[in-house]
Amino acid sequence: MSLQTQPYKGTRDFYPQDKQLQKYMFGVLRKVAESFGYLEYDAPILESLEIYQAKTGEEIVNQQLYTFQDKGGRQVAIRPEMTPSVSRMVAAKRQELAYPLRWYSLPNLWRYERPQAGRLREHWQLNVDLFGVESLAADHEIIQIADAILQAFGAHSNNYVIRINSRQLVDLYLKDYMKLSDQQVYQTTKLIDRWHKIEKAEFHQHASEILNDDKLYRELIELMESKDLGTLPTEIRNHQSVKDLNELMELLASSGVKSAVFDFSVIRGMDYYNGIVFEVFDSKPENIRSMFGGGRYDGLVGLFGVEPIATVGFGMGDVTLLRFLEAHKLLPKLEPETDVVVILIGEVYQKAQIVVKELRGMAVNVAVDTSTRKLDSQIKNAVKSGIRYCLFIGDEELESQTFKLRDLQKGEEKSLSLEQIASSLAVRHIQS
RNA sequence: GUGCCUGUAGCUCAGUUGGUUAGAGCGUCAGUUUGUGGUACUGAAAGUCGAGGGUUCAAGUCCCUUCAGGCACCCCA
């Protein structure tokens, strides 16, 4: 039996082309995060199992977490998300860090489940978190960053929708206003979460069964359809969470975030969210699933035995982002990092080294074709690899110190000195 | 974890109601007199038909099991 060449289930190999694309994407993410003053951090891919048990539901820990016991008998988990790790790091230095604390990271994360469109077992996720700001300025800034990222990739505001809700409002509405039982709250929450995934008739049917009250049922439907805070019942319209949402929407509008809407269907699964929550959706109807999201989770740092810290953040996965960029044709054509392939003519391998080394010294990325195959084969190979230029080096060139630089895209060939070659290729680096 | 669909050359796929030695296009490699590519022509390599078992004189084709992939559910970090 021979070994499989496939990568492990639900994972991807990054061939140079894929890796280059990832580098491009991460580059944009880093640039935007840093433009808001965020600093990059990282943490180990392994964490003790208990930091996930402390904060999440049973199912996630039992079924969707990679866990094992190490040789010292410790229960270990491969991180499924970054939030507990960063909370741990902040808690560890709670007293000495300067707030507001703006941090981001690009961790690879693992979850054990059956892969499907846009969801794999390993993915990479931009995490952006703002610690120590209780006011709405934090929620506003985080959503601004999410918006700025999509804009930085060239997306238009109508390519995506940022749906915003408040956990406090959901609680208020279901418990205080509707006066539902715990069981009803749970069922209704799950149903609301599925609003965009199921047919209206199905939603209506389930809602009327759970609520068993015609007035409440119709009000809920109206609230979800309206996407307007003004449709909230007058009894709760002056509650703080509603004021917050109104103010947030106004802040976003005045800072040029055009894609944001209030949407009562946004819940998010994790229990640790305690304030504003948001999710970003592709406006293309064939990509119905949430792309990414986040919100406020003020209680998480406090789980590590220190005074809690107000926190707002979000996570954006590379798989869903890539799907979005592909669907909207927002991926640029990337040229190989290698600038030029040297094609040797005759027995000049050794003599050419001086020239090649000099070019590299002038910041040109040079690969030498060592195959000694016929010239046309070498040229074909260079074309296939996507490299823009090839440089011919033979006895004549070494004698005259002028070399033929061939532009493989245009088919033009020029005889140039090394300095001329280096400066014409340096232009490419500046442009890119 | 549950359900549906799919596995034939590196890739995309043909392959009749089971019937000789499993095909095509693209790609790869080589050549068309070795200092110049994308075209053309010639030739070559390349498949345990996902794997294992069964039915049959005979299985790529039918049955069972299993593995892998895709999609949906569950869940969503």
pLDDT on residue A74: 92
Better-scored residue on pLDDT, A28 or A187: A28
pLDDT value at A364 more than 70: yes
Task: Count how many Cα atoms sit within 13 Å of the Cα of residue A166 in the half-sphere of its side chain.
Answer: 20
Residue A37 CB neighbours (<10 A): 10
Q: Are A234 and A268 in contact (CB under 8 A)?
A: no
Nucleotide nearest to A110 (CA to C1'): B77
| Torsion sign, CA atoms A213, A214, A218, A221 | positive
pLDDT on residue A383: 85
- pLDDT classification of A430: cutoffs 50, 70, 90: low
Average pLDDT (A371-386) is 84
pLDDT on residue A346: 83
| Torsion sign, CA atoms A362, A367, A373, A377 | negative
Q: Report the distance separating Cα A271 and Cα A281, nearest Å.
A: 21
Chain B positions with a protein C-beta closer than 7 Å: 1-3, 28-31, 34-38, 68-77
**Model confidence pLDDT, tens digit, residues A341-357:** 999 888 888 999 999 99
Nucleotide nearest to A290 (CA to C1'): B76
Strand partners, A391: A342, A405
Can you give the distance from the CA of residue A326 to the C1' of nucleotide B37 in angstroms?
A: 31
pLDDT on residue A1: 44
Average pLDDT (A393-398) is 90
pLDDT on residue A317: 93
Can you give the distance from the CA of residue A384 to the C1' of nucleotide B38 in angstroms?
A: 10
What's the alpha-carbon Rg for chain A, to the nearest Å?
28
pLDDT on residue A243: 95
Q: What's this model's pTM, rounded to 2 decimal places? A: 0.91
pLDDT on residue A16: 86
Can you give the distance from the CA of residue A6 to the C1' of nucleotide B47 in angstroms?
A: 18
Residue A201 CB neighbours (<10 A): 8
Per the prediction, chain A carries an average pLDDT of 90
Lowest mean pLDDT among A61-75, A246-260, A264-278, A309-323: A61-75
**Model confidence pLDDT, tens digit, residues A144-202:** 999 999 999 999 999 999 999 999 999 999 999 999 998 899 889 989 988 888 888 88
A98 contact partners, CB below 8 Å, separation of at least 6: none
Nucleotide nearest to A10 (CA to C1'): B69
CA A344 to chain centre: 44
A5-9, A144-148, A416-420: which is most confident: A144-148
Structure tokens at A8: 């492990």
Nucleotide nearest to A198 (CA to C1'): B73
Give the closest residue to A39 by CA, choosing from A85, A88, A101: A101
Can you give the distance from the CA of residue A261 to the C1' of nucleotide B37 in angstroms?
A: 54
Classify residue A2 by its DSSP letter.
P
**Model confidence pLDDT, tens digit, residues A206-221:** 888 888 888 888 899 9
Q: Are A38 and A104 in contact (CB under 8 A)?
A: yes
- pLDDT classification of A6: cutoffs 50, 70, 90: confident
pLDDT value at A295 more than 70: yes
Nucleotide nearest to A6 (CA to C1'): B68
With pLDDT > 70 as the criterion, what percentage of chain A qualifies?
Answer: 95
Can you give the distance from the CA of residue A319 to the C1' of nucleotide B65 in angstroms?
A: 34
Q: Are A147 and A162 in contact (CB under 8 A)?
A: yes
With pLDDT > 90 as the criterion, what percentage of chain A qualifies?
Answer: 57
A404 contact partners, CB below 8 Å, separation of at least 6: A391, A392, A397, A413, A414, A415
**Model confidence pLDDT, tens digit, residues A66-121:** 888 899 999 999 999 999 999 999 999 999 999 999 999 999 999 888 888 888 89
- pLDDT classification of A335: cutoffs 50, 70, 90: confident
Amino acid letter for position A174: L
pLDDT on residue A106: 97
